[in-house]
């Protein structure tokens, strides 16, 4: 799970109005993406200057993530992005804004002094002093939502990039095109729309994801046990995790539990859900409890799971940013969605070819099970 922040489209945030009071965050994904496709088809048939009857403008009320048909619960999915604007509690601000502040600070460092001075002036802070002084003032201003949005729009582009959920082999299951800055809310919306929430979620702000999801649904506690930590945060466990001696085995990752849990994932038989950090971000957290979110604590994951699948996807997409980012919002979404679909197809074809080559001297019976996985004889591959 990660955000491609370089994939943005031009969109004045001030042009977006809040949704109606009756809006509950639910949107028909099939209807939205069908309308978006019809907009592209109609654009090729209309004369110059004609109004496109299927035109969609960015808005909080009719804006849906793309989630695979067999991955989502139903055509109705969640998009509560407008609530980022309305968050007022301290806990909400931590989970909504915490992740992007660090990234914005990194991007601010790359700006020229003249650009930083203009940004300081727009935010109403002093424009005198060195680059370090200016950056220090802007970081202080980020604590307010208004200044945060101004800085975000200047540094990042108008939209918030696109968030993806994909498996370690690189197949994308969900993508959400953000109107505002990224937060754990965006990934929670997608996960809550899934038919079966993954047992393991790897994210660069794992603590924020677990906290936000559990605050939103306290009756269900999506990330449990231990609030998504791999073990209880006792002094002994923390000491062992920090020293690298703690081990928490999750055997159901390799072989389904015989005695299935209630409301379990159909592949693992477990109802446990953990939020873990990817390898490159696990040392960024200042909370000692996050030492219990490290991949290497789990023998079944350590050294065998590609935690950089999202970064590899974004690296491959970088060559497309120059033309995708010049498109209108819906055209941008249409092309990115199709590029991701083609890449998914190619990855599955590549895996299938490898399997067939490995059994070239024998006749192999390839079938899909009820969960869409490819079954080779008695063995199951990772093809979704």
Residue-by-residue pLDDT tens, the chain, 384 positions: 888 877 777 776 666 778 888 899 999 999 999 999 999 999 999 998 899 999 998 888 999 999 999 899 999 999 998 887 655 444 454 455 444 556 666 667 767 788 888 878 877 788 888 888 888 887 777 666 566 665 655 555 456 789 999 999 999 999 999 988 788 999 999 999 999 999 999 998 899 999 999 999 999 999 999 999 999 999 999 999 999 999 999 999 999 999 999 999 999 999 999 999 988 888 777 789 999 999 999 999 998 898 889 999 999 998 898 899 889 899 999 999 999 999 999 998 998 888 878 776 666 677 778 777 777 765 555 545
| Tally: H helices and E strands in the chain | 12, 11
Contacts of 28 (CB under 8 A, 6+ apart): 64, 75, 76
Locate the DSSP E strands across 223-364.
274-276
CB 148 within 8 Å of CB 130: no
Give me the phi and psi of 298, to 5 degrees please: -100, 110
d(CA 146, CA 127): 18
Whose CA is closest to 167, among 376, 373, 333?
Answer: 373
Angle of helix 131-141 relative to helix 90-108, nearest 10 degrees? 160
CB 73 within 8 Å of CB 39: no
**In the chain, what are the domain boundaries?**
1-158+172-195+327-342, 198-324, 343-380
d(CA 152, CA 142): 9
d(CA 181, CA 11): 13
pTM over 0.75: yes
- What would the two tokens of residue 206 be? 């794992």
d(CA 263, CA 195): 11
- What would the two tokens of residue 104 be? 């914005």
d(CA 165, CA 76): 18
CB 102 within 8 Å of CB 139: no
CB 18 within 8 Å of CB 82: yes
d(CA 179, CA 54): 20
CB 218 within 8 Å of CB 210: no
Query: Which helix (H) or strand (E) is 356 found in, with range?
Result: helix 329-358
């Amino acid at each position: 799970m990660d955000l491609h922040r370089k994939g943005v489209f031009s969109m004045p945030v001030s042009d977006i109005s809040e949704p109606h009071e009756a809006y509950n965050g639910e949107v028909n994904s099939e209807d939205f993406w069908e309308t978006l496709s019809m907009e592209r088809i109609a654009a090729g048939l209309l004369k110059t200057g004609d109004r496109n009857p299927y035109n969609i403008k960015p808005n909080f009320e009719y804006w849906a993530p793309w989630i695979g048909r067999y991955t989502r619960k139903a055509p109705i999915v969640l998009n509560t992005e407008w609530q980022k604007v309305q968050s007022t509690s301290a806990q909400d601000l931590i989970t909504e804004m915490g992740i992007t502040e660090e990234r914005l600070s990194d991007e601010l460092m790359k700006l020229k002094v003249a650009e930083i001075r203009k940004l300081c002036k727009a935010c109403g802070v002093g424009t005198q002093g060195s680059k370090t002084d200016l950056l220090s003032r802007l970081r202080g201003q980020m604590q307010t939502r208004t200044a945060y949005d101004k800085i975000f729009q200047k540094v990042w582009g108008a939209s918030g990039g696109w968030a993806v959920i994909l498996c370690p082999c690189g197949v994308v299951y969900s993508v959400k095109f953000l109107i505002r800055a990224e937060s754990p809310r965006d990934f929670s919306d997608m996960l809550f729309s899934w038919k079966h929430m993954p047992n393991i979620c790897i994210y660069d702000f794992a603590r924020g994801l677990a906290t936000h999801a559990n605050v939103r649904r306290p009756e269900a506690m999506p990330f449990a046990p231990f609030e998504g930590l791999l073990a209880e945060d006792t002094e002994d466990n923390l000491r062992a995790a920090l020293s690298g001696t703690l081990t928490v085995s999750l055997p159901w990752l390799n072989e389904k539990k015989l005695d299935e849990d209630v409301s379990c994932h159909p592949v693992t038989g477990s109802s446990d859900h953990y939020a873990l950090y990817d390898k490159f971000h696990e040392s960024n957290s200042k909370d000692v409890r996050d030492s219990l979110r490290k991949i290497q604590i789990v023998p079944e994951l350590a050294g065998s799971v590609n935690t950089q699948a999202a970064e590899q996807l974004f690296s491959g997409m970088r060559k497309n940013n120059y033309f995708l980012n010049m498109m209108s919002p819906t055209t941008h979404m249409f092309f990115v969605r199709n590029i991701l679909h083609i890449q998914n197809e190619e990855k599955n074809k590549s895996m299938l070819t490898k399997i067939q080559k490995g059994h070239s001297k024998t006749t192999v019976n390839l079938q899909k099970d009820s969960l869409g996985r490819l079954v080779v004889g008695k063995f199951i591959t990772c093809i979704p």
